[in-house]
Amino acid sequence: MTRGFLDVTEAWNGESVVTAFDSATGAWIFVALHDTRLGPAAGGTRMASYPAPVDGLIDAMRLAEGMTWKWAGVGVRFGGGKAVIAIPDDLGDEARAGLVDRYAAHLVSLRGAFQTGVDMGTTPEDMARIGAISGYAVGLVDGKPGDPGPYTARGVLAGIRAALEHRFGEADFGGRAVLVQGLGDVGFPLAGLLAEAGATLHLTDLREEAARRAQTRFGGTVIPADGMWEVDADVYAPCAVGATLNPDTIPRLRCGIVAGSANNQLLSDADAERLRARGILYAPDYVINAGGAVAFSAIHRGERDETRLRARVDEIGSSLREMFEEAAGAGESPLHAARRRARRFLDAHGGPPPGAG
Ligand code: PHE
């Protein structure tokens, strides 16, 4: 299920989208700046091929809004933004390298209005290159690329623990089954952490070999992509594309908790209420998946101590615990508690909206 451009523009309350066309490759570049009251926008750069360029634009807009909530939710003074590079599906390695360089030059022309990090389809090496050309990559250490994925995975693990405790009364993974959808940069290390914690793994990925690789390393069962809705699990961890929670899928879920790293897991906010009505505990995506952003923004500010970085990421667990309790007390979805917390930070620390007075 997807949403069309009209639905998305109607709901959009962001600031701008800067669009560039890369004629050498036919790629479209969308840099969406959603809310810069807290500071210059920062967010990942996603590179993917879409059915049409407009779908990349929609993705950029929705993801940028997610970053606004994410930064405010964890109390980091960056604005919400995201870049999507919509590429033709037959883009070769050489053409891709040229495109990355020109994208970096494009960021130079934006003069720091947007700073970026890894997202689906881009790599730490891309960020090193973008940083070297533009100076606008977040979290490089001496120009060297780091991978936010393991930090994000660590935050998701802390979040799942909090959810288990809230939903089942104990944070223990022993005998708990977790369905991990997407074994990429975050899903793979998450599967490793879950296995170590004693969870039973069900692994699914559109590229079945990715699920098999994880199975070889961490055990568990591989589920074909079209069979995942038939799996009984305590936790469903979406770690791939967004919008997997929608009016079609929610009635089919066979889990007590949804807690994973994907951005924009809900097709729309109303789906949070649908989950609640089914008694499924939902860990708001931009809270539970903030580990990479938390760690990289701290590195950006000069933090180098691994123990402190990890401790900051682990705080995601305690934040979620509070939100679950607040939401349960108010008889609402944790999404609302998360949003209130982020809004409080925005109101307290954000300047006036751009263009105001
Ligand atoms: N792509 C990351 C996310 O969606 C954001 C990120 C920003 C990661 C900056 C690293 C550095 O949360």
- Per-residue model confidence as pLDDT tens digits over 161-216: 999 999 999 999 998 999 999 999 999 999 999 999 999 999 999 999 999 999 99
User: What does pTM read for this prediction?
Assistant: 0.94
Q: Distance (Å, rounded) from C-alpha 116 to C-alpha 97?
A: 17
Structure tokens at 169: 């009364």
Residue 355 has pLDDT above 80, yes or no: no
Q: What per-residue confidence (pLDDT) applies to 7?
A: 79
- Report how far ligand 1's centroid is from the alpha carbon of 44 (Å): 5
Report the share of the chain in percent with pLDDT over 70: 98
**Residue of 310, 274, 305, 277 whose CA lies nearest to 292:** 310
- Report how far ligand 1's centroid is from the alpha carbon of 278 (Å): 31
Torsion of CA 154, 159, 162, 163, to 10 degrees: -140
Residues 108-156: tens digit of each pLDDT: 999 999 999 999 999 999 999 999 999 999 989 888 889 999 999 999 9
- What is the pLDDT of the chain when averaged over all its residues? 95
Residue 357 has pLDDT above 60, yes or no: no
- Report how far ligand 1's centroid is from the alpha carbon of 330 (Å): 31
Q: Are 58 and 14 in contact (CB under 8 A)?
A: no
Mutate to test the pocket of ligand 1, among 70, 84, 118, 126 (most ligand atoms within 8 A of CB): 118
Give the contacts of 187 (CB within 8 A, at least 6 positions apart): 153, 180, 181, 205, 214, 237, 239, 240, 261
Give the contacts of 353 (CB within 8 A, at least 6 positions apart): 35, 37
Which atom of ligand 1 approaches the CA of 286 most closely? 12
Residue 356 has pLDDT above 60, yes or no: no
- Report how far ligand 1's centroid is from the alpha carbon of 50 (Å): 20
Q: What per-residue confidence (pLDDT) applies to 145?
A: 87
Please list the active-site residues. Answer: 82
Whole-number Cα distances in Å, 62 to 13, 30, 70, 296: 10, 12, 12, 21
The least confident of 5-14, 106-115, 173-182, 243-252 is 5-14
Mutate to test the pocket of ligand 1, among 120, 138, 147 (most ligand atoms within 8 A of CB): 138
Q: Are 118 and 289 in contact (CB under 8 A)?
A: no
Residues 14-62: tens digit of each pLDDT: 999 999 999 999 999 999 999 999 999 999 999 999 999 999 999 999 9
Q: What per-residue confidence (pLDDT) applies to 8?
A: 79
Helices (H), strands (E): how many in the chain? 12, 11
Look at ligand 1, atom 11, and give the residue with the nearest C-alpha: 117
Residue 3 has pLDDT above 80, yes or no: no
Q: Distance (Å, rounded) from C-alpha 195 to C-alpha 326?
A: 30
Q: What per-residue confidence (pLDDT) applies to 300?
A: 93
Pocket lined around ligand 1, Cβ cut-off 6 Å: 42-44, 70, 117-119, 138-139, 148, 263, 289, 292-293, 296
Q: How confident is the model at residue 11 (pLDDT cuts 50, 70, 90)?
A: confident
Look at ligand 1, atom 4, and give the residue with the nearest C-alpha: 44
- Report how far ligand 1's centroid is from the alpha carbon of 2 (Å): 23
